[in-house]
Amino acid sequence: MPTIIRRAFSTYPFYERWRYSRKINQLKKEYPAAFKTKLSPELEREITSYWRSFGVKVNLDWHRGYIGICGGENVHRYIPEDIYYAYIERALSRLELADAYGDKNEYDRIFPGVRGPITLIRSINGRFYDREYRYLTRKRAEDTIVGFEGDLIVKPSLDSGDGKNVRKLTVAKGKLSFGNESTNFDELVKNYGLDYLVQFVFQQHPSMAEFHPSSVNTIRFYTLRFDDEIKIISAVFRSGNMGRCFDNRGIPCGIRHDGSLNDHAATKYFTKFESHPVTGKKFKGFVIPGWKDACEFVKLLHQNLRYFESVSWDVTINPESEPCLMEINLNFQEINFHQVNNGPLYGDLTDEVLSRVFQRISPKPFCRFSNRRTSEK
């Protein structure tokens, strides 16, 4: 579908529902064992009746997948992915502002003093700056990178979800390379365009590294502003896979309220693991270091994002057991790995969250979405 047509249709709920109906059909083809769960006629009626009360028709394949891998109580409360992106995410956040607030080059402005990877060079709209946003000439930026010795991480500051184009850059005696592929500063600028960062390699807590040493392994938090409180709705531990230097497309494992991991991990593709497929380290029994501080960390940071009721955070833990921000996700936040590990996304808050969502946005598939809001009563 041409981009201009896709963008026009994307303001209508039916487009997201169509997109994710294709996704669930593809998942059923690729992982048929995950969708073999049979729902009783009574349960089917309960689920369809529940969603009909909000004016929404539900695709039961999502529930078959979630129940088959995670089960749980009150399974009618599982949030199908097509409904989440068509209605819920749009109603909870000002998505037209997501790119601006999600720009990694702006984290140090939005969250002053936040711990995280240290930036060597920023490229913002094609101009170079240092960590403190002081302007650098192109020659000064090149000299700074070429004069470094060791490994650096290069990542786009916009649209780098799923680790897209995040690469380890090695600098040795003035020569640059990505793995076995030699490069130079001009090629780096050409390949990464206008907006990106060059950062020092981040050192994570050694216990976090045990699952997959070559990647920075993170906690994905999903937080929700509910009245005057920021609530942690769900959290999963994400470890890398297949030797990649980032954790995206890795192995997510649910985290309990006390910071301990679930007995097994489940991926967003509805597959299960009791131990990491690369290192063999078991998930059961591991406790996230500095867990309580990490929880308070994301709740405090969410206070700075007033246009976004829901936020997903990628946080890691440094060797001193302190939480550090790696990335924020303001749209397409990925709910599958939460629900296949931890059960229905909003748990006991589901009824109230959905009631608020469908007061803000019409469930009609051809009703164009508007970001206009009314004041809370």
Q: Give yes or no for residue 72 having a pLDDT over 90.
A: no
Do 224 and 350 fall into the same domain?
yes
Domain boundary among 146, 176, 200: 200
Please name which of 298, 304, 305, 331 lies closest in space to residue 91, comparing C-alpha atoms: 331
pLDDT for 15: 87
Q: Are 310 and 97 in contact (CB under 8 A)?
A: no
| Structural domain includes residue 167 | yes
| Structural domain includes residue 33 | yes
Host domain of residue 355: 1-115+203-368
Domain boundary among 139, 165, 200: 200
Q: Is the dihedral of CA 61, 67, 73, 79 positive or negative?
A: negative
| Structural domain includes residue 274 | yes
| Structural domain includes residue 375 | no
Axis crossing angle, helix 60-69 with helix 13-30, rounded to the nearest 10: 50
Do 363 and 266 fall into the same domain?
yes
Question: What is each CA distance from 188 to 176, 177, 246, 297, in whole angstroms?
Answer: 9, 10, 19, 34
Which CATH number does the domain housing residue 68 bear? 3.30.470.20
Do 102 and 231 fall into the same domain?
yes
Do 103 and 137 fall into the same domain?
no
Tell me, yes or no, if the pTM score tops 0.95.
no
Do 157 and 304 fall into the same domain?
no
Do 299 and 360 fall into the same domain?
yes
Q: Are 252 and 265 in contact (CB under 8 A)?
A: yes
pLDDT in tens, 99-126: 999 999 999 999 999 999 999 999 999 9
pLDDT in tens, 188-234: 999 999 999 999 999 999 999 999 999 999 999 999 999 989 999 99
Do 155 and 251 fall into the same domain?
no
Q: Give yes or no for residue 23 having a pLDDT over 80.
A: yes
